[in-house]
Structure 1
Amino acid sequence: MVQYLSQPAGGGSEPLAVHTMQCEWSCAHFTLRGVSGAESLRGVHGRGLTLIITTSIRIPVHTATDTDEGSNLSTIGYSNGLSVDLDATPRITVTYNELSDLKSFSANVKNYSTLLLEDEKGILYVGTRGAIFSLNSSDISHGSHRAINWEVTPLKHKDCLTKGKNNQTECFNHIRLLQTFNDTHLYVCGTNAFSPLCGFIDVQTFVLPDSFEEGKEKCPYDPATGYTGLIIEGGLYTATRYEFRSIPDIRRNLYQRTLKTEESPLHWLSDAEFVSSAFIRESLNVDVGDDDKIYYFFNERVIEESSSFLEKTQVASVARVCKSDIGGKKILQKKWTSFLKARLVCSMPYYETLKSVYTLDLGSWDTTIFYGAFVLQWRNMEASAICQYSISDIQKVFDGPYMEYQDSSRKWSRFNGEVPKPRPGSCITDDFRLYGFNSSQDLPNNVLDFVKLHPLMYEKVKPVGEQPLLMKKNVLYTRIAVDRVTALDNKQYDVLFIGTGDGWIHKAVATDSAVYIIEEIQVFKSPQPVENLVISKTQNSLYIGSQSAVLQISLSGCSRYTSCYECILAKNPYCGWDGKTCRKIVTSEDRVQMTQDMQNGNGGCINNTAEGLPIKKSQTVLKGNDVLLQCDLKSNLAKPRWVLNGTDPLDESEIHFRVGNDGLLIMDTLLEHTGEYSCYSDENGLQSMIALYTLNVLLKLPNIPSQPTPMVQLPTPGSLSSSKLDFVYISVITILGGLCLVLSVVLLYVSCQQKRKGKYAMGSSRSTNVELQTVSSNFKDKVEDLNNYSDGCLQIIPGEAPTSSPKKGNPPPPPPPPPLPSEFTNGITTLPNMLRKMNGNSYMLLRQNEEASSPLYNSFTEELSKILEKRKHTVLVDKLDESSV
């Protein structure tokens, strides 16, 4: 919420008016009478406005506009309705130990982040630190891979260290570019310890070439620098920070005319970090003779504003160049004449960073869709967002008004002057050729001068629907890949595979109503960022690159759904229920026999109850004790519903019941709580019985008879032959003698230990009594100033013994009670010793002795405490004796 004061124009003595505006996202971005951005933040002076932010600010997803005409205050947003979940919850969580189809490949190298898939050949090429691998794409864990070792020479490694570079990361050869050059060769570039090299690799022999090319114009020096590269018709199009100057640049070289971006008088790229690039064949199926284009996605420092607030702020941007551009004749020689860029916004301008872009090619260039993964950071808030962009929206921005730099105000603003013809930054088309402009070198000087000074477009590229598709708090999205799937309803759905910074994959699907996360999968046992994602429709596989390994998992994951209920609720476009199993939809014949409900996710099964009933379990508890009936729901979107005795719904308002997502806690049980408890998973109108319990509440524990010790019948002389009788007697006597010797040693050792133990606390005690108390097993964790005790259940405070004469010997300890059946454990020992969350309210489980989880032990402890409390003030003798303790 923002409160602001407005003063009528002209000032005067009229009082200030107070206005309040609800802000659904960062109120730091607003418009004051047509002035936006940083000027609004700093420049309320002289405008009669004062802004006061009074509450915390939420993540942006839509516009909140104040209707007061006097102030005209509005946020910069992209939708008038909030239709996206600010924290989408994955339906199913699949941990690393639950993965059954995970395949991995790793060798004695690091950084498996550069991937190249040749799907038709069944090969996955992997570029790492110091090696290149050729893997079988159907099973990357198969041992038939080929490898090329490409390490730096000792001399080059030493030179890198003398330059002050990091010996742990930088002074190695990191493969940054791995592209298909033609049918017989690959083109590869490596950092080579801050001395980049490039070369061709024969795919048949798969060995290093005899000679390399200088790579300083094609590959970054630093392995951590943002980089993207494409080979298009023999030309290498790269974008990164080159050379030691580390100046960002978009370049073309290899077997075509070399081109760069312009550096003066205004930098076309301002501290840019490149993320991705895409080649769009816009010359196909068009009548205007347009040229193919290359689009670049990157983050760069804001240049529109001069405020210190935005001085170091980065924004996401998209730029384009034409494939047939050959530079200018006199102006912009060897420079791009078609370079234009525009701001790319998702949900929170100036607070979002572009992390990954995936280009979804749908067969025609004008239907191309770009998916971007963003990280949102503002103060202590951290979230991620996914936005979708159409190429037609990007084209409209590049065909719109330009920005220009004002020397007087030292900032960029909209250019309102006359635009020269032909339109600056355009590719050569048939219309250009009619006027004699057959190449970029034929363009007039005024057009090239305009391009040189106006690289930035005024309008911003907004996402489809003017809001994010998906948002997730407390997660950092690092990579994204998208697959378009045709479901049983013959509609096409985009399935998003999103990698996180801690080694998880989120699989989401976009339906007509919303975008939701089908499942989250932990693909790495130890947290590490997902650095690359590649999809293979031929192998039905997703390949995942990281620092430690490259992984392969199934795109569909249908085997994780074991019933029609689970298969339908998943709304996974890859999967359908065939009456027996949930499996991938492969052929058109399958579509007739299979069931799927992508829009609603609850239709198609025979009834609305899942198949199969759980095994009935029994629980027995003493009156007044607590018991937990566990009910583990597979779906994070499901809600538990408890039923008593088959028909009666549980009264959750009763003080004895506490319902949570992991079970039902019954506290201070009563006799009337005896009965049958059924737990159902309720999700999207479908119900499934998860657990069934029979609970018995008893006044006291039943007498459990102890089992008699079996008697060993020694052989009698009559049962043995006379020839073996002497041998048996000798054997028995020998065994008994050995046992006597062992027992004598044990008794002697125990006697010595008892004498030592009696001396440890008898020195200078000032106490006049002996106190024996029961304490919890976590006693040592909470009392820091007491001695360490070997027994977690007894605290012994030494003192003096009673006046009664001590006994001569210590009585033997009473035999332990017989173990109780499993139904007497109350279900509580199965939970960790910590607070559990139950419907927003926390409850604490009493920590039980690890060696005695039975209620009998608890009862014995309570009785012992009562007896000792009564004897606490008994008159004691002057001298302490061990037998009194």
Structure 2
Amino acid sequence: MHPLLSLSAFWLLALASSLGEDSPPGCVPRRYVPYHRDNSVLFHKEGVFNYSTLLLREDLGLLILGAREAVFALDIMDISMEMASVDWKVSEEQVRDCQNKGKDPETECKNYIRILHKMNNGKIYVCGTNAFDPECDYLSYTDGKLTFEGTAEDGKGKCPFDPFQRYASIMVDDSLYSATSMNFLGSEPVLMRSSPGSIRTEFKTSWLNEPNFVSMAQMSESWQSKDGDDDKVYLFFSETAVEYDCYSKLAVSRVARVCKGDLGGQRTLQKKWTSFLKTRIHCPVLDSHLPFLIQDSYRWCDSQNWEDCIFYAIFTPQADTSDLSAVCAYRVSDISKVFKEGKYKSPVIVATSFVKWVMYSGEVPHPRPGACINDEARKDDIHRTLDLPDWTLQFIKDRPLMEQSIEPIRDQPVLIRKGAPFTRIVVDEVQAADGEKHHVMFIGTEQGTLLRAVNFDGEMFIIEEVELFKTPEPITILKLSNVTGHLYAGSNCGAAQIPRATCERSLSCRDCVLARDPYCGWDTTEGKCVALSSSQRKLIQSVKEGDASLCPAADPVQPMSRHIWPGDTLKLSCLSSSNLAEIIWERDNRTLEPAAPLQRLRDGLLIRNASRRDAGLYRCLSVERTKAHEYKTTVAQYQVSIGSEDGKKTVIFPPQPQTKGPSVAALQAVLVLLAVALLALLAWNFYRGHLPLPWNCVKRSGEQPQQPHDHETLNSSVAYQNAQRSAEDKPLVSSAQHNSGSNNNHTTDGGAQETNAPKANLPTMQFIDDESEI
């Protein structure tokens, strides 16, 4: 058996037990693969931690990995091979200054690489926390070496001060868009573009209120635009809501956007965004009372048409009352429509000091506040945001929040899972054997596992969950390369490289088809599960229905012989390849019900205090149900035999099931012969005097006992009665050779006291204590 399959089968059962029966649908992965060195290619440098920044340089064949005080260039096909590295450490003076500000010198007062972006000239823009004093520089890879240019730039507003604070950044045409904090205390959150000309958000709670930044994405909405629209940059984050009247702070998820060509206002909103708009993004999870908070997002696009793009986002609860995580999908066109046509929220002062946010129903200025410069604005001789009237700018300054919230596709999540919280997500599109395309979600968790999941027309299905690291660490970064076909994950303890498809884990056709993996199909010619992209032949696959009826008949499972002595314990192992299957045990083709001495385990069956009735042919069945059918698969068979009770090595094999047995008449004839033989045996014993005749016993019981004339007569009578009493429990044989056999007569008082009784000689009888001498 393949080692990975055996390990996964053992641990997936343990995972199933940790998930309650009230778990939401689709939350249990079909296969759970525990940590194994073959699960992924790992990279770790001794003494280096926090591998949380990744940059794919497919043009150089490199994976640029940012960690604490170091940057590595790894072979993109095998990240265990280090091509180059460079250190970026802080000085002792910087550590002292950081420590004097109340920070931990061993953890916080280090340089954590937080930004790695490719420039148009091929160089890499890199920023680090630099002991709570952010700094940026340029990095180049030439002649197999990584080299800093040494042109240090101030990193405030680009890179976070705190290495453990959430942030987001993106590089668009050599312009860095970043969302972080502007000061040491982290009390001035900002969405900023560094060049050309620095421009940022206002320091107002109506703009950003205690935010946790998540991710950023750029959309080319100007391409073939009918109204001459501009490109957009979208920001996903969560923040404390200002629009809800609550006794305590309530956090909500947000999506905001700005226009690429925004230059700020002429008088109002100078060097501030004139196009900053935000709204709530909603992900309904069952009956949750508090909104779930966004943790990461991924932009998926199939073509240059931005309206077909989808944002996939993961959400986790903001309270400890739930251990659910969810994935929701949103159309970019729906988000753009809310910002372009939606209503605004406006603050209203109530009871002298309290501010309530309500939908704005007054007149909206022209050009529309927050809109990008388009053909309609150009007709009014407004070609830049600097030309916008103050009325429009003041309106958006006071009202950056929209009324409508963004709802997911089909108004429901594409995946809900109970267990370790989700941390990161990437999405890939793959074409199945039937020609239909499916979106496969790769999701990282706080336990260092990677999920591969699909939503088949509303049906949530997790193909597998794989442990990437030996020590459970949250996955902090996740990247997908369409060039290499691999995923790259980072955590505090190291980085991992994982293939998109793991078809080789399925060792049978039925297991391959029931896995419902769009990447994989069963090759009948080669007799194995292979990736669709690596085979030109027609493969057996059924991702929507899970129909394995087209699979050829599997080879029968040969029974394994197991022997056990009476009173001992025997374990019969049964490792199913599917976590969605039900395990059923049979003995001699009859279903076994859980009852002593049989005990069902997660990975087998336990026979306790074995006896002869426990012998037989045991079969373990895996029953898995899909939309198409119910499939029973024999996982293991055991022929169990029980040894004899006398302790000798005499093996008693259990009777085997027979299809053709003797008739009822033949069984009756056998019983008649046995009865005749028993009667003959009794008659012979009566004739020989070995057994007294019944009427003699009745006559003797009716006589009055006579006084014995001497001790010999008394002894003979006592011995005869004892011998007759003992004959009821022990076998009696005749022996002419034993003329002096003796037997001790014992009487007990409370089962502990022995008396001296007279002895009698029985020349024709012998008591057998050892049954083996019969």
Matching residue of 2:383? 438
The residue number in structure 1 matching 2:220 is 281
What pairs up with 1:83-232 in 2 under 5 angstroms? 85-86=24-25, 88-97=27-36, 99-143=38-82, 145-204=83-142, 206-232=146-172
- Cα separation, partners in 2 of 1:665 and 1:457, compared to 1, 3 Å: same
Moved more, 278-287 or 246-255: 246-255
**CA distance in structure 2 between the aligned counterparts of 1:872 and 1:259, rounded to whole angstroms:** 103
Question: Counterpart of 1:785?
Answer: none
1:387 and 2:334 are equivalent in the alignment = no
The answer as to whether partners of 2:190 and 2:203 remain within 8 angstroms in 1 is no
Pair 1:582 & 2:529 matched: yes
Q: Give, in whole Å, the separation in 1 of the partners of 2:152 and 2:556.
A: 65
Listed one character per residue, the Cα deviations across residues 242-297 of structure 1 (whole Å, up to 9, x for unaligned) are: 22252344444443121111224x53000011010000111112221110000000
The verdict on how the C-alpha distance between 1:421 and 1:670 changes in structure 2, with shifts beyond 3 A counting, is same
User: Within 2, Cα distance between the matches of 1:493 and 1:529?
Assistant: 27
Q: Return closer, same or farther for 1:614/1:180 CA change in 2, 3 Å cut-off.
A: farther
CA deviations over 1:732-791 (Å, ceiling 9, x no partner): xxxxxxxxxxxxxxxxxxxxxxxxxxxxxxxxxxxxxxxxxxxxxxxxxxxxxxxxxxxx
Q: 2:39 and 2:321 mapped to 1: Cα distance?
A: 38
**Residue 179 of structure 2: aligned partner:** 239
The equivalent residue for 1:551 is: 496
Alignment partner, residue 339 of structure 1: 276
Q: What secondary structure, in the 3-state scheme, does the structure 2 residue paired with 1:547 have? A: coil
2:464 alignment partner, SS class: strand
Q: Deviations over 1:105-131 (max 9, x none)?
A: 434311110000122432110111111
One-letter amino acid matched to 1:683: E
1:632 and 2:575 correspond: yes
Q: Is the 8 A contact 2:35 2:468 kept in 1?
A: yes
Structure 1 residues 496 and 612: CA distance shift in structure 2, 3 A? farther
Shift of 1:525: 0.9
Match of residue 368 from structure 2: 423
Correspondent of 2:466 among 508, 521, 525: 521
CA RMSD of aligned residues (A): 2.5
Shift of 1:512: 2.2
- Of 560, 568, 571, which residue of structure 2 is paired with 1:616? 560
Give the SS at the match of 2:640.
strand
> Which amino acid is 1:381 matched to?
S
What is the SS of the residue equivalent to 2:97?
helix
Matched position secondary structure for 1:381: coil
Code of the aligned partner of 2:603 = D
Alpha-carbon displacement from aligned partner over 1:353-385 (angstroms, at most 9, x marks no partner): 221111112222111111111112545332211
Deviation at 1:217, TM superposition (A): 3.0
Give the Cα separation in 2 of the matches to 1:644 and 1:325.
Answer: 76
Q: Which has the higher contact order (CA 8 A, sep 6+)?
A: 2
Residue 722 of structure 1 corresponds to which residue in structure 2?
none
Match of 1:407 in 2: 349
Matched, 1:355 2:295: yes
| Residue 873 (structure 1) shift | 11
Please report how far the alpha carbon of residue 99 of structure 1 lies from its aligned counterpart in structure 2 after TM superposition: 3.3
Please say if residues 140 and 147 of structure 2, whose CA atoms lie closer than 8 Å, have aligned partners that are also in contact.
yes
Q: Give the match for residue 642 of structure 1.
A: 585
Cα distance in 1 for partners of 2:128, 2:188 equals: 18
Letter in 2 for 1:425: G
In the alignment, the residues of structure 1 paired with residue 332 and residue 39 of structure 2 have an alpha-carbon distance, to the nearest angstrom, of 39
Alpha-carbon distance, 1:516 to partner:
1.1
Runs of 5+ consecutive residues of structure 2 not aligned to the other structure = 1-21, 651-749, 755-774
Q: Percent identity?
A: 36
SS at match of 2:274: coil
Q: Partners of 1:84 and 1:285 in 2: how far apart?
A: 46
Counterpart of 2:384, as a letter, is S
Q: Report SS of the residue matched to 1:643.
A: strand
Return closer, same or farther for 1:871/1:224 CA change in 2, 3 Å cut-off. Answer: farther
Matched, 1:493 2:438: yes
Report deviation, 1:555.
1.2
**Residues 1:505 and 2:450 are matched in the alignment:** yes
Query: Matched residues in 1 for 2:499 and 2:318: separation?
Result: 32
d(CA) in 2 for partners of 1:192 and 1:438? 41
Q: Which amino acid aligns with 1:305?
A: Y
Separation in 1, partners of 2:494, 2:260: 36
Alpha-carbon distance between aligned partners in 1 of 2:37 and 2:124, rounded to the nearest angstrom: 38
CA separation in 2, counterparts of 1:872 and 1:178?
A: 90
Q: Is the 8 A contact 1:112 1:547 kept in 2?
A: yes
Q: Tell me, what secondary structure is at the counterpart of 2:163?
A: coil
Instruction: State how far apart, in whole Å, the 2-side matches of 1:548 and 1:564 are.
Output: 37
Native 8 Å contact 1:237 1:250 kept in 2: no
Tell whether 2:202 aligns with 1:262. yes
Structure 1 residues 872, 358: closer, same or farther in 2, change over 3 A?
farther
SS in 1 for 2:110: coil
Any conservation in 1 of the 2:266–2:387 contact (CA below 8 Å)?
yes
1:327 — aligned with what? 264
Paired amino acid for 1:395 = S
Checking the alignment, whether the CA contact within 8 Å between 1:614 and 1:689 is kept in structure 2 is no
Give the conservation status (yes or no) of the 8 Å contact 1:639–1:661: no
- Helix, strand or coil: the match of 1:458? coil
Amino acid at match of 1:403: K
CA contact (8 A) 1:575 1:596 kept: yes
- What SS does the corresponding residue of 1:210 show, helix, strand or coil? coil
**How far apart are residue 683 of structure 1 and its match?**
1.4
Q: 1:605 and 1:248 mapped to 2: Cα distance?
A: 62
CA separation of 1:610/1:429 partners in 2, compared to 1, >3 Å: closer, same or farther? farther
Pick which of 496-505 and 255-264 moved more: 255-264
**Partner Cα distance (2:499, 2:440) in 1:** 13
Residue identity in the other structure for 2:138: F
Partner of 2:255: 318
Distance verdict in 2 for CA 1:175–1:110, change over 3 Å = same
Corresponding residue SS for 1:410: strand
User: Does residue 301 in structure 1 map to residue 240 in structure 2?
Assistant: yes
Aligned equivalents of 2:449, 2:536: Cα separation in 1: 32
**What's the offset of the Cα at 1:496?**
1.1
Deviations 1:218-259 (A, max 9, x none): 211111111111111121110011222523444444431211
> Would the aligned equivalents of 1:327 and 1:334 in 2 still touch at CA under 8 Å?
yes
Count of aligned pairs between the two proteins: 618
Whether contact under 8 Å (1:564, 1:605) holds in the other structure is no
Secondary structure of 2:463's match? strand
User: Is contact 2:138-2:150 (8 Å) kept?
Assistant: no
Q: Provide Cα deviations, 1:819-860, integer angstroms capped at 9, x if missing partner.
A: xxxxxxxxxxxxxxxxxxxxxxxxxxxxxxxxxxxxxxxxxx
Take 2:234 and 2:639, find their aligned partners in 1: how far apart are those partners?
65
Change (3 A) 1:165 1:378: closer
Q: How does 1:3-82 map to 2 (within 5 A)?
A: none
Question: Structure 1 residue 306: deviation in Å?
Answer: 3.3
Structure 1 residues 513 and 389, CA gap change in structure 2 (3 angstroms): closer
Match of 2:623 in 1: 682
CA contact (8 A) 1:425 1:451 kept: yes
